[in-house]
Amino acid sequence: MAKQLNVAVVGATGAVGETILRVLEERHVAIGELAPFGSRARAGAVRFRGEMLDVRAADAESLRGYEIVFFASGEDSSERYAPALVESGAFVIDNSSTFRMSEGVPLVIPEVNPESVQAGHRLFPVANCTAIVLCTALRPIRDVAGLRSVRVATYQAASGAGRAGLDELLSDERAVLLGQEEPPPAIFPQHLAHNVIPQIGSFDESGYSGEERKIAEETRKMLSLPELFVSATTVRVPVRTAHSEVVFLETERETTVDELTAALEGGSGIAFHREGIVTPRQVEGTDVVHVARLRAEPPVRPSHSTTTDRDEGTTRHFTFWCVGDQLRKGAATNAVQILELLLAKGFVA
C-alpha cells in the first residue's frame, strides 16, 4: 500500500492553492491528511475530495509536523516559515520566487531537469510560470542541436497576478461591456480589458522588468546553460489563465525543421502541432506545453546568390509559438509533479 502523506498547503484559498488541491486529487496522490492554511482562519473555505475543509491561520507552530508543505502564498510566508520547516525535516515546495536562485537549491521542471533532484534536497522552489513553459519547449531542442541564444516575447494571462489579477480583469471587462467607468487599476499598471501592457514587474536601470530578469536567470539555471544568451519582453494580455510565447532561437549547430519537429514530438510534457495554431483558450485546464508554428527563419542573402547550406534546409535560426496553462503547468501541476518525482526517487520515506 502506498505511503499516506501528511500534507499542508499554505495559501489554499488563492488561485494557485486551490489548483494544487485540485491537481493532488486528480493525480490520486496518496494523502492521509491534508491541511489547508491561509493568512486567517475560515470555516469550510476549500474543497478536497468532495469535502469542504476549514482553513487554519498559518504560523510556525501550526505548520510543524507535516511531511510535505506547499507554499502558494506570498514571498513573506515562504521566507518566514520555509527554512525552519526544512531544518525540521519537511519537504517544502514553494511557488514564490524567494529561493529560486539560491545556491545549492534545485529549480526543477520534472520533464526538463529531474536529475537536479538529489538525496538531501528538501527545498524545492517552483520556477517562474513563463520560464517553465519556455524551458519545457526548449529542452528537446537543446538536447538535439544545442542552444546559443534565446529571445522570447511573452503574452501573459491575468492569473499570473493571482486571484486579484483575475478579479481585476473581470471587473474591467464588466465595466467596459456596460459602458461604465472602470475602477482605478490596483494590480496592473494600467487597465487590462481591451488592452495589452508591456510591463510585468518593476523596471531596472537598463529598462528590463523584474519578470524579464526572472525568465533569463531561471532559464539558464534550469537548462544548465549558465552562459546562454536570453532576452525577454513580457506583456500582460486580457487572457484568463494561459501564457503564450513567441520564441526566436539560435542553435549551436545547423539543423532542420524536420529534426527539431521529431525532437519536439518526442519531448516529455509537450503537445506538438505540425499544422495550424493553438490558442490560450484551447489549453486552459491542461497540463502540457503546446508548441506550434515551428519554422526556420528565412536567410538573408544577396539577390544574385545561387546556393548555400540553407538551400538544403539547414540553419541555426528558428521560431516557434508555445502556450501553457499558467495555473497548472506553470504553477500547481509542476509543484505536484515535484512531489511525485520525490516519491519516485524514494526520497520521501
Close Cβ partners of 225 (under 8 Å, ≥ 6 residues apart): 142, 147
**79-98: average pLDDT:** 96
- What integer pLDDT is reported at residue 299 of this predicted model? 79
Q: Give tens-digit pLDDT for 159-186.
A: 999 999 999 999 999 999 999 999 999 9
Give pLDDT, residue 301. Answer: 65
pLDDT band at 158 (very low <50, low <70, confident <90, very high): very high
pLDDT, residue 304, reads: 62
Q: Are 154 and 233 in contact (CB under 8 A)?
A: yes
pLDDT digits (tens, 9 = 90+) for 104-131: 999 999 999 999 999 999 999 999 999 9
User: What pLDDT does 302 receive?
Assistant: 60
Active site residue 317: no
The neighbour count for residue 266, using CB atoms within 10 Å, is: 12
The C-alpha atoms of residue 144 and residue 198 are separated, in whole angstroms, by 33
Which residue do the cell numbers 467607468 mark?
A: 181
Superfamily of domain covering 5-127+332-344: NAD(P)-binding Rossmann-like Domain (3.40.50.720)
pLDDT of residue 1: 56
**Is this prediction's pTM over 0.85?**
yes
Three-state secondary structure call for residue 153: strand
Q: What is the pLDDT of residue 309?
A: 45
What burial class does residue 262 get, using C-beta atoms within 10 Å of its C-beta: 0-12 exposed, 13-18 middle, 19+ buried? Answer: middle
Domains in the chain: boundaries: 5-127+332-344, 131-326
Separation in Å, CA 49 to CA 32, 192, 196, 282, 326: 12, 35, 38, 27, 23
Q: What is the pLDDT confidence band of residue 102, given thresholds at 50, 70 and 90? A: very high
CA–CA separation, 31 vs 28, rounded Å?
8
Give percent above pLDDT 70 in the chain: 96
pLDDT tens track for 38-74: 999 999 999 999 999 999 999 999 999 999 999 998 7
Q: Is position 243 annotated as part of the catalytic site?
A: yes
Q: Which of 129, 135, 290, 322 is catalytic?
A: 129
pLDDT tens digits for range 231-268 = 999 999 999 999 999 999 999 999 999 999 999 999 99
SS3 state of residue 40: coil
CA dist 23 to 20, 34, 192, 229, Å?
Answer: 5, 13, 29, 34
What pLDDT does residue 311 have?
47
Question: What confidence tier does 340 reach under pLDDT thresholds 50, 70, 90?
Answer: very high
Question: Is 131-326 in the same CATH topology as 5-127+332-344?
Answer: no
Candidates 243, 273, 290, 322; catalytic one: 243
Give me the CATH code for the 131-326 domain, please. Answer: 3.30.360.10
